[in-house]
Structure 1
Amino acid sequence: MKLKKGQLILLLIAVLQSAAIFTANAQITKIPHGILVKAGGQQIGLLAVKDAAFCLSLNDSIAPSTIKSVFIDESNKAMTSYTVISSPPSYGIKTSYGKLMINIDTEVWSLYDANGRMLIRDGIFSSTDTSIKITHTTEGELYGSGNKSTKKLEKNESNSSAGNGVADIPYFWNSAGYSAFGVSANDNNPATWNRTQNKTALTWTFAGKTANLYLWPAKTMYDGASGYVKLIGRPKLPPRWAFGYLQSQWGWADSAYIANVETKFRTHKLPVDAFIFDFEWYTTTPDYSVKKEGKEGFTDFTFNPQLFPHPAKQIAELKSQGIKFIGIRKPRLGNNLLLDTARKNGWLINPKTDSRDLNFSNAGLRKWFEEKTRPLLNAGVDAWWDDEGESYYTCYYWWNTAQRDLLASARPNYRHFTLNRSFSPGNQRFGYCTWSGDIYSTWPYLADVPKDLLNFSLAGMYYGACDIGGFHGTPAKELLVRWFQAGVFFPIMRSHSDIGTTARFPFLWGNDGEAAIRKALNLRYQLLPYIYSLGHEAYNTGAPIMRPLVMEFPTDTTIANMTDEWLVGKGLLAAPVLNEGGKRKIYFPNDTWYNYYSGDVIRGPKTIAVDKALDEIPVYVRAGTILPVGPVIQYSEQTSSTPLEIHIYPGKNGSFKMVEDDDTSYNYTKDDTRTTAYFWSDKTKTLTWKVSGRYSGKNVYKTIKAVLGKKEKVATLGKKGSVVFK
């Protein structure tokens, strides 16, 4: 197109005006994804990143901070459109979701949402030779930094460290309407934050001379989570079998013992998807007494012949019964010769101490470790249980990197799954579960578990678990049963026990105990279509499977810190008995709720008292919920010709997307799924559905039974359809 003379002049003026922004003052420079300014002797980048967030980048070089962090998802190549704002002495960038500004004279920065509302009005910064601090006033309540500094949902600090079943991360969502995530120059010395006792000011601390503070407007916890996973990565799904019941213990005696337990589970109709083996699967003696030089003959990468004289054959037999093999791993070596190799190559964290822990961040060590582990995968091992890896903050990240890379080589396109005792940001990209550590078999520890797992959910760790029954000690029957019942509503359901205690095998706990646990396990498996679909929702949107009530009812101050009841998705309210005696009070927020078993209606806000028999679980469903309920099966991959039940809870319109796939591959990341979008019209009493996606495996449901109260209607799914309840 040929421009006229007047148009050329106007274009030239616009270009010159734009250039003037960056030339009139040498402190202002345009850089990729934003601008670089100089204020207070500090180079400051204002960047737009990942189609979700701003980055306030402080550094001591001319270029913007180029911190390389495993916390950030580098596979997300999304580019954010932005415009530069120049109103000297204030400069900034503006995107569709807000703007980030700084005054180079006062050195004050501020954050705004898309509507121009100021979210942070007076941010300041300071630096020394060893650290950077970023401070601003703050309003609202803070959520999301983990469970180490406190198990409460509301936070006032994060010490950003990892421990036995606990983790703090440099992140929070503020109810004032934004989220923040800090990245330091060293992932193993992460940023921390805390606010003053009167909650008026918040300070981030970054070790070193560089700091990246990511900020994004987020009106709700859902908005915060959505932006967070765009930044640090989507939570990949474990294989579907990991959503079933996982039976663990320390103390599997021998091969006959394993075969007997397998037989008992199947003949007693106790659903289970995996056996998890402690030390005894690979060594005859734990390594806790092994000296730093190692022990001659210690086995690190073989099967213990007492338990597995024929590993491949025995594991294949377990799998024929729908039972996967998960083996414990430690982040260290016990064999003296292997330790000599590791020490010679510089693969230990600190070779001068008694520690035998491996430095998995070393690429050479990971490659060696993979090849030592490959024969175990070739024998049929399905997943790993990684324990005691808290020696440095990113240990589990690099450890899982080695295991994932090996799996991709040995078993291409099979989903990675591990159980880990802590986590750091970014680990959710693996298909990663964290359990709440080596806890005791007491009622207070049971009550703490949902506190831990809800905090995990808000911190970006979507697959939380615990040692059902507690690890240390033998629980009373009532305690174990109630723990199983709570476990139905955890993202991952796993029991475990210390050596020398009574195993958490349901058939060891009396007829009434076994019957109550069987009932709980049956419910878990019936809810798998719902829970697995929520896993897909988490991957696609960042919404966690296990959610605190405050996530759905943010203005209800009664539930701001409530953890003894929670939501699974948006519609299922779990209120298990967490104390001795079967009695508890249950709070219902402002909505209409249905008793899952009786259909009785409760209208909130309201608190009721319940008294439940040993086999009874308090669980309720929110009006407008469409709940898919599958048949009772003995393991997740077992097929059934029984129609999928679609339970409808009237009172308002509702919708739900049920997702099916091949259960084990990463093809779902390439949209190879089958999604059935259900919609309930409360006015016309009509359930409609539409099926989309290219997946068409034999495991998909072909018929449904729509259930509305006592009314039932069977229909073929097809591509779309509807049923009307008159």
Structure 2
Amino acid sequence: MFREAKGFLRVVLVVWLTAFAAAAQEKIERPGRVLTIEPGSGGVILRCETGAVELAQVGPGVVRVLADRSGNLAPVRSYALADLAPAASGLEVDESGQGLRLKGDGILIQINRDPLQLVFLDGDGRPLHRDAEPGGLGFRGEEVLVTKQMPETEHYYGFGEKTGPLDKRGLAMEMWNRDQPYSGDLDPLYQSHPFFLALNRGRAYGIFFDNSFHSYFDMGRSDSSTYTFRAAGGPLRYYFIYGPEPKDVIRRYTNLVGRMPLPPLWALGYQQSRWSYENEKRVREIASGFRSRGIPGDVLFLDIHYLDRYKVFTWNRRRFPDPAGLLADLGQKGFKVVTIIDPGVKVQPGYFVYDQGVAKGYFCRRLDGSDYRARVWPGDCSYPDFLRPEVRAWWGDLHRVLLDPGVAGIWNDMNEPSGWKHDVRAGGLMLSLSPIREMDMVHGPADAPVPHAEVHNVYGLLESQGTYEGLRRLKPEERPFVISRAGFPGIQRYACVWTGDNYSNWNQLPLSLTMLLNLGLSGLTFVGADIGGFVGSPSPELYARWIQQGAFYPFARTHTMILSGDQEPWSFGPEVEAIAKEVIRLRYQLLPYIYALFEESSRTGLPVMRPLLLEFPRDETTYAISDQFLIGPDLLFAPVVEKGARSRRVYLPEGRWVSWKEGKVYPGPGWIEVATALDTLPLWVREGAIIPLAPVMPHTGAKPWDPLSLRIYPGAGESSFTWYEDDQKSFAYEQGQWRRTTATVRPAADALVFQIAAPLGAYTPAARSFRLEFYGLAAVAAVTPAAGGPGLEWVYDASRRVLIVQMPDRGQAEILTIAYK
């Protein structure tokens, strides 16, 4: 009897849940039929049975879609665009022919009226993507959502800092900044980037869901024929961004949300960190270790133990009795120092930061008006309200305590924001308990409070804005360097980012690549992962393989946690030290090439570290490759990511590829098998490339780039590369103090012609010479400069098929003709 009753109740429950789910689905309100069409700001407004939808063109190929259930289309704050919001440029209404169409710059929007359905087409009328039926836009309670049809051949990239494969088709993801050490497919993590790039047989578009609330992307996991993105609140606002090339999408997206400012050159050097180098003596030992071993390095990090009982903007005078003296001595050795700063301010009357924040009312509040508090490293903490400009300005000015003694950069950590309810402490150790996922705080002025649900994902962005602007205000002649753990679109305007607390295991090697590549496709160029892993200690083999790939991360830093083993490049024995030394030295040689890529990114948003699909979007083999990457357009690196591997398969895209060390030529497209001994660096150069190189040096400021070498790999046609130079540290480049120089190589009858164009810009580097290295040449008979050309010396190595030419850099156009025998 009881069993039968249980069975009956189970059936009733299933029926009820099914009915509830159906009812919940029915509660989605759709715009329905289009009733009227009105001119709008830069586009049109569609008045519908439910609410209104505005379509506006905000740039070539970029359309903003804004929907409101009430019909009120008043502007809503965008944290990502900030003051970059573009002016709408208008859409032409065309009701002739195939119903209602809107014509933009290189894009068409077909509007099906009953019910409303948006179909995006290219300028030739070929469909790009379309709303799902019965409608793409919807409202469910406070939630806003968009559902699109998903073609079988479409692939999805970006989404910022996400674990899992490169292509996110078939996955579901969450956007909510969370302090969470990660491995495998854990989601969400420290950053939220509600943007993706879609690629379908060579044609690309992007979607930016401009909403800071807790959001979700279901890319065909629930229904393989559609994808949906939704948010728990906020505006239903997204941008459709057409390519047709993936690079076009990134350029146009970063034109909306901003791009990375050009960093100081020292920030592109190798960086060393741990939680924590416990005192001044240990920091000096680490600095001496790099210089005595001939391993280049530019930056040392100080984690939380430099602080007085973890209170921000203080110094622990027992551990670091003379900060200014230490930093001056390190500066003499060519080291910059970056210090950590968390947003949590210790609740302690008499502590100047806390007292100022309380007196000015600068801390986040609860709904009842009291200060919000949570536990962080110092204990009970208050949180600055970075939504308010005056709080950001105050916070930025507090950095004078660090900059005056000589700190060069700031590391923003724990800014998701992170906090917990309870912890257990023993001496210098602490175990946090009950992490807080939803903080019940409010932001903004008391008469216009903003819920934390809206601000949570942008808290780290706003803190980094205050930090960057403060550093630029306090040191106006120096480019700020800020690194942030949390982020949202726009963070790149103020900080570089890293992928947070990873683990020292082999799974992290391929995982870090997919995360960094997708961050790059999401508009973030200056990115990195903790080399060697943060949690735990790597084996010598793991560290060797990690430093080989990590030396090519845009942000290259080894970092590890408290109680782990030493993780300096020399900590794993002579063999691994030699491997680390070689690859770090190669990074420093490549700095002229890397710096040029960073400067390009500051103008275009294109990443330095690129998946193959970005350069070869019509090669569908590249769509799933994430264990190889390109450094700029011309260097292809295939790191070893498996334990014990002594060979690996490598895919070479279209073209001819030359191995970096051996000079062997491989044709593409196709797969090859290569040997990968522990000291092997699987690196190739695309034929036609010109790669500028600097001399090996202990740090970026050791000496000028003299000689400036150019590695030239002539191809079947003409090719060129433009490198960029400035003073590497100030903002003088904004007033024209920069230099761009283009080198070109082209084949001629029984000869090769090499040309250096007259440099552009007002910057003049120190006197120097060029060393030109031409690879893959047949027997050379003569090297002849144009009339009035420079005196030069040359030597041809027949066994290597390499020609080396030495000549002065006269700062003017030069032409060389290389005649073959």
Whether the TM-score (by the shorter chain) exceeds 0.5 is yes
Identify the residue that residue 694 of structure 2 maps to in structure 1. 630
| Distance apart, 1:245 and its partner CA | 0.3
| Distance apart, 1:260 and its partner CA | 2.5
Report the residue type matching 1:318 in the other structure. Answer: L
- Greater CA drift, 654-663 or 150-159: 150-159
Does the 8 A contact of 2:60 with 2:106 survive in 1?
no
Identify the residue that residue 428 of structure 1 maps to in structure 2. 492
1:301 aligns with 2:316: no
Does the 8 A contact of 2:58 with 2:86 survive in 1?
no
Identify the residue that residue 686 of structure 1 maps to in structure 2. 753
Identify the residue that residue 167 of structure 1 maps to in structure 2. 191
The whole-number CA distance in structure 2 between the counterparts of 1:146 and 1:421 is 13
Identify the residue that residue 724 of structure 1 maps to in structure 2. 817
Identify the residue that residue 15 of structure 2 maps to in structure 1. none
1:138 aligns with 2:150: yes
| Distance apart, 1:55 and its partner CA | 0.9
Aligned counterpart in structure 1 of residue 533 of structure 2, from 453, 470, 485: 470
| Distance apart, 1:341 and its partner CA | 6.0
Identify the residue that residue 10 of structure 1 maps to in structure 2. none
Distance 1:86 1:377, change over 3 A: farther
Distance 1:441 1:90, change over 3 A: same
Distance 1:594 1:458, change over 3 A: same
Does the 8 A contact of 1:171 with 1:179 survive in 2?
no
The whole-number CA distance in structure 2 between the counterparts of 1:112 and 1:670 is 41
Distance 1:378 1:416, change over 3 A: same
Report the residue type matching 1:369 in the other structure. Answer: W
Following superposition of structure 1 onto structure 2, how do residues 27-66 of structure 1 map, counting pairs within 5 Å? Answer: 27-60=36-69, 64-66=73-75
Distance 1:674 1:72, change over 3 A: same
| Distance apart, 1:196 and its partner CA | 5.0
Aligned counterpart in structure 2 of residue 311 of structure 1, from 303, 316, 323: 323
- Greater CA drift, 132-141 or 114-123: 114-123
The whole-number CA distance in structure 1 between the counterparts of 2:131 and 2:321 is 67
Which stretches in structure 2 are left out of the alignment for 5+ residues? Answer: 1-33, 181-188, 376-380, 418-455, 777-801
Identify the residue that residue 270 of structure 1 maps to in structure 2. 295
| Distance apart, 1:403 and its partner CA | 0.6
Report the residue type matching 2:389 in the other structure. Answer: A
Following superposition of structure 1 onto structure 2, how do residues 6-85 of structure 1 map, counting pairs within 5 Å? Answer: 27-60=36-69, 64-72=73-81, 74-75=83-84, 77=86, 80=89, 82-85=91-94
Identify the residue that residue 454 of structure 1 maps to in structure 2. 517
Report the residue type matching 1:630 in the other structure. Answer: A
| Distance apart, 1:87 and its partner CA | 4.7
What secondary structure, in the 3-state scheme, does the structure 1 residue paired with 2:54 have? strand
Identify the residue that residue 621 of structure 1 maps to in structure 2. 685
Report the residue type matching 2:197 in the other structure. Answer: W
Which stretches in structure 1 are left out of the alignment for 5+ residues? Answer: 1-24, 288-298
Aligned counterpart in structure 2 of residue 662 of structure 1, from 727, 735, 749: 727
Report the residue type matching 2:199 in the other structure. Answer: S
| Distance apart, 1:60 and its partner CA | 4.2
Identify the residue that residue 365 of structure 1 maps to in structure 2. 391
Distance 1:96 1:712, change over 3 A: same
1:223 aligns with 2:245: no
1:348 aligns with 2:364: yes
Q: Deviations over 1:238-272 (max 9, x none)?
A: 21111110111123232222223222222221111
| Distance apart, 1:90 and its partner CA | 4.9
Q: Deviations over 1:674-693 (max 9, x none)?
A: 11112221455222222443
Does the 8 A contact of 1:154 with 1:560 survive in 2?
no
Distance 1:406 1:152, change over 3 A: same
Identify the residue that residue 383 of structure 1 maps to in structure 2. 409
Aligned counterpart in structure 1 of residue 106 of structure 2, from 72, 80, 97: 97
The whole-number CA distance in structure 2 between the counterparts of 1:133 and 1:449 is 31
Does the 8 A contact of 1:172 with 1:180 survive in 2?
yes
Distance 1:198 1:208, change over 3 A: closer
Report the residue type matching 1:649 in the other structure. Answer: Y
The whole-number CA distance in structure 2 between the counterparts of 1:636 and 1:208 is 47
What secondary structure, in the 3-state scheme, does the structure 2 residue paired with 1:393 have? helix
| Distance apart, 1:228 and its partner CA | 0.8
The whole-number CA distance in structure 2 between the counterparts of 1:659 and 1:181 is 32
Following superposition of structure 1 onto structure 2, how do residues 563-712 of structure 1 map, counting pairs within 5 Å? Answer: 563-585=626-648, 586-640=650-704, 642-652=706-716, 653-669=718-734, 671-683=736-748, 684-698=751-765, 703-709=770-776, 710-712=802-804
Following superposition of structure 1 onto structure 2, how do residues 108-127 of structure 1 map, counting pairs within 5 Å? Answer: 108-122=117-131, 124=135, 125-127=137-139
Identify the residue that residue 253 of structure 1 maps to in structure 2. 278
The whole-number CA distance in structure 2 between the counterparts of 1:168 and 1:369 is 23
| Distance apart, 1:397 and its partner CA | 0.6
Does the 8 A contact of 1:182 with 1:213 survive in 2?
yes
Report the residue type matching 1:159 in the other structure. Answer: E
Distance 1:497 1:700, change over 3 A: farther
- Greater CA drift, 245-254 or 201-210: 201-210
Identify the residue that residue 544 of structure 2 maps to in structure 1. 481
The whole-number CA distance in structure 1 between the counterparts of 2:288 and 2:325 is 16
| Distance apart, 1:183 and its partner CA | 4.0
Distance 1:152 1:348, change over 3 A: same
Distance 1:199 1:673, change over 3 A: farther
1:542 aligns with 2:605: yes
1:374 aligns with 2:400: yes
Report the residue type matching 1:426 in the other structure. Answer: G
The whole-number CA distance in structure 2 between the counterparts of 1:122 and 1:190 is 19
Does the 8 A contact of 1:47 with 1:55 survive in 2?
yes
The whole-number CA distance in structure 2 between the counterparts of 1:91 and 1:340 is 61
Aligned counterpart in structure 2 of residue 148 of structure 1, from 137, 148, 162: 162
Q: Deviations over 1:344-379 (max 9, x none)?
A: 726136545534344322334323323332221122
The whole-number CA distance in structure 1 between the counterparts of 2:606 and 2:395 is 35
| Distance apart, 1:523 and its partner CA | 0.3
| Distance apart, 1:505 and its partner CA | 2.1
State the identity as a percent.
Answer: 28
Does the 8 A contact of 2:302 with 2:340 survive in 1?
yes
Q: Deviations over 1:300-353 (max 9, x none)?
A: 211222343222232122122221110111121235225576467261365455
Identify the residue that residue 211 of structure 1 maps to in structure 2. 236
Report the residue type matching 2:457 in the other structure. Answer: Y
Does the 8 A contact of 2:658 with 2:664 survive in 1?
yes
The whole-number CA distance in structure 2 between the counterparts of 1:120 and 1:166 is 31
What secondary structure, in the 3-state scheme, does the structure 2 residue paired with 1:103 have? strand
What secondary structure, in the 3-state scheme, does the structure 1 residue paired with 2:346 have? coil
| Distance apart, 1:411 and its partner CA | 0.6
Distance 1:421 1:153, change over 3 A: farther
The whole-number CA distance in structure 1 between the counterparts of 2:570 and 2:235 is 57
What secondary structure, in the 3-state scheme, does the structure 2 residue paired with 1:235 have? coil
Identify the residue that residue 29 of structure 2 maps to in structure 1. none
Distance 1:311 1:335, change over 3 A: farther
Q: TM-score, normalised on structure 2? A: 0.79
| Distance apart, 1:413 and its partner CA | 4.5
Q: Deviations over 1:526-577 (max 9, x none)?
A: 0111111111121222221001112223343433222211111111011122
